[in-house]
Structure 1
């Protein structure tokens, strides 16, 4: 399951209620534990040291751009697989869903608001946990898709406005229509006489021959 989430505050989990409760257990500050406040122990195997997230619990990097999430069952060596995600913070959210179901108020969460924002699985059974995680993932995917469409629509609208261009009525603003009319009228007038009896050919090329003195 692959999905991208940018703004968790905009996601509505009201529809995630088939496999989980609408409201998680009410955590108080006395019981709240955050992963950022409890540094993880040093991993023994080199592979885990290189791939696990430095802060988020239950999150490891599998390939570039891919993060996996799993959680250990209490008092057992077995782990519950939660899925593959394109972002580390979403994999961390999946871990929080499972941690709340398995450990309740003693869960160590990656995000403080997971205690009240995320739905709780119907039971601690791995299938119920995985089902709730999948539904939460779909909710985030839908929210991201809608957000992406809104951004694309806004961009297309902006491009359309730019393509319309800007029209400036120069004639109305600067009175150019009257200017060109006066110039045309002046050019249609006959040139004044030069003041000499001779014809045009009698003047040398370098002589200055005034044309007309019409003033616009």
Structure 2
């Protein structure tokens, strides 16, 4: 509501140069009768009232039939199927393993970093 009132006032003062909240629906806004403050305020109040959110409450009555569900006769142990205790144990063991050694290869200069990079310049103008 306040955004619509702002749009009315901004459009009244700035015209087509106004920065509007709802630029795609300028045609829906009331136009003030004149450029007087009173007329602009009146048009802004009309816009706020026109776009007021009204919650309509309609009484809905539903008749729900209760159905008795059959008892569950089969129990599935998902922990046993997916071997969860073993999975958790192997995850814990994985945390105790030492990380692999660093491989010397692309992007890695090993221990000879300074020897290979002496003639390279990061900034060449």
Q: Which has the higher contact order (CA 8 A, sep 6+)?
A: 1
Counting strand residues as a fraction of each chain, which structure ranks higher?
1
Larger Cα-atom Rg: 1
